[in-house]
A = this chain, B = another copy of it.
Amino acid sequence: MSVTAAPGFVAGGVAAGIKPSGNPDLSLVATADGLPVAAAGVFTRNKMTAAPVITTRAHLDATNGHAVAVVLNSGNANAATGQQGLDDAEAMCAAVAAELGVDASQVLVCSTGLIGIPMPIDIIKAGIPAVVAARSADGGQAAAIAIMTTDTVAKQVVIDGGGFVVGGMAKGAAMLSPNMATMLAVLTTDAAATPEQLKAALVYGVADSFNALDVDGCTSTNDTVLLLASGLAGPVDEAALNDAVANACASLAAQMCADAEGATKVVRMTVTGAVSDAEALIGARYVSRSNLVKCSWYGCDPYWGRIASDLGSCDIEFDPSKFSVSYGGITVCRAAIDAEHDAGAVVAHMAGRNLEIVADLGLGSGTATILTNDLSHAYIDENMGTS
């Protein structure tokens, strides 16, 4: 199910031979009737923009926000590949368009994998007829599997909006500090909506989901979230659409965090009491990127001194005398000094997989939460080589 949960969409996934492992690596999401529908996307703000991001943006511009299909590959990011990379992204769209009998500009493209390696475009083009032929109304799972890289599980979601459905799939397990989007998510809905409404729903939806996810502080070259609307459910309340899209994004972001490379902890790091939400977000993100804090989480160590040190050095308003920290709801520090607490209860919380940490600055009403992970040996093992 997932990306094909909303009536009007089909999908599929095949092993085209891009990955040396022989695992599935080529996906397609398309409208069931082959006709264009409203579509919108949000993309990485990384200036080292990957070719498929540039191509997909251009196609959405050319069609005023309409698309028939999205083709996605794993195993190669088509990033830092120059003009050849742009030609390859265009060729992928053209090959799908030829199979479907539509214009290339009506096909969007996403890639994920290693950066700086030329695309095996002949292999991909040879696989496209197969993935187009494989598309079906129950092909969502196959499509979600074929976009995995170091992901260990496929990420899918279905949200019942009340009279309409939002479904989706995503991939991502590292280089996860999305900025307006994250590495490859495709959402579909049967709600009737304009491209502008879809864009608004995406911007609203990614704010507290993908954009509040920070696995390793590294923003990808390929971040893309797309939303296509078949309209088969007819017009819907705009707020309901926004909420359903936001819930879908939140679910996929949580699935990414749970499957983050090498992670042993899923941490909700909240900063409250900041002078503004913006300062709370700076603080929560800074702590979430701190290797010393991440190492202490890996060691199940409630070392709040490092959190205090980080919040004191990230250029936000900070007053030690107002500062407190809690783990799993148990306050361990007040006024930046050790507070009497049930140490056994804190140890039990830190031993779990899900950590809830709140650092209260005690200065105002600004609040933000970042979803993040610990730093483990396995993260290093996954990222110390490209092979």
Query: In the assembled complex, which residues on chain B have CB atoms less than 8 Å from the CB atom of A220?
Result: 309
Contact partners of A309 in chain B: CB under 8 A = 46, 48, 79-80, 115, 175, 218-221
Given contacts A82-B335, A313-B46, A376-B380, whether A218 and B305 have CB atoms under 8 Å apart is: no
Interface residues of A in 175-190 (CB under 8 A from B): 175, 179
Q: How far is the CA of A137 from the CA of B113 in the complex (A)?
A: 61
Contact A301 B385 (CB under 8 A): yes
Chain A interfacial residues counted at CB < 8 A = 65
Set of chain B residues within 8 Å of A82, measured between Cβ atoms: 320, 335-337
A295-331 CB contacts (< 8 Å) to partner B: 295-296, 298-299, 301, 303-306, 308-313, 318-320, 323
User: Given A291-B375, A380-B295 in contact, is the A308-B217 Cβ separation under 8 Å?
Assistant: no
Given contacts A116-B337, A295-B384, 11 further A-B contacts (CB under 8 A): A47-B319, A47-B320, A48-B320, A49-B312, A80-B337, A84-B337, A116-B304, A216-B291, A217-B289, A221-B305, A291-B383
When all copies of this chain in the complex are counted, the total is: 2
- Interface flag for A333 (CB, 8 Å): yes
Question: Which residues of chain A from 38 to 90 have a CB within 8 Å of any chain B CB?
Answer: 44-49, 77, 79-82, 84-85
Would you give the shortest CB distance from A362 to chain B, in whole angstroms?
13
Please determine whether A48 and B311 come into contact, CB atoms closer than 8 angstroms: yes
Instruction: Verify if A141 is at the interface (C-beta below 8 Å from B).
Output: no
Please give me the residue from chain B that is nearest to A218 by CB atom: B292
Q: By the criterion CB–CB under 8 Å, are B79 and A305 in contact?
A: yes
Which residues of B are found within 8 Å of A291, using beta-carbon distances?
216-218, 291, 375, 379, 383
Q: A interface vs B, CB < 8 Å?
A: 44-49, 77, 79-82, 84-85, 114-118, 174-175, 179, 216-221, 289-292, 295-296, 298-299, 301, 303-306, 308-313, 318-320, 323, 333, 335-338, 375-377, 379-380, 382-386
Q: CB distance A80 to B320 under 8 Å?
A: yes
Which chain B residues lie closer than 8 Å to A379 at the CB level? 291, 295
A376 surroundings in chain B (CB, below 8 A): 380
Contact A337 B81 (CB under 8 A): yes
Residues of B near A319 (CB, < 8 A) are 47
Query: Given A80-B333, A80-B337, A336-B80 in contact, is the A310-B218 Cβ separation under 8 Å?
Result: yes
Q: Are A47 and B318 in contact (CB under 8 A)?
A: yes
**With A116-B333, A299-B384, A380-B380 known to touch, is A46 a contact of B312 (CB < 8 Å)?**
yes
The listed residue (B219, B382, B386) touching A303 by CB distance below 8 A is: B386
Question: Are B46 and A306 in contact (CB-based, < 8 A)?
Answer: no
Residues of B within 8 Å of A318, CB to CB, are: 47-48
Q: Are B380 and A290 within 8 A (Cβ)?
A: no
Knowing A47-B318, A174-B292, A337-B82, say if A306 contacts B115 (CB, 8 Å).
Answer: yes
Q: A81-B337, A308-B80 given as contacts; is B383 within 8 A of A313 (CB)?
A: no
**For the complex, what is the distance from the CA of A379 to the CA of B292, rounded to whole Å?**
9
B221 touches A312 (CB 8 A): yes
The CA-CA distance from A289 to B335 in the complex, in Å, is 30
Q: Which residues of B contact A295 (CB under 8 A)?
A: 379-380, 382-384
Chain B neighbourhood of A47, CB < 8 A: 312-313, 318-320
Closest chain B residue to A298, Cβ basis: B384
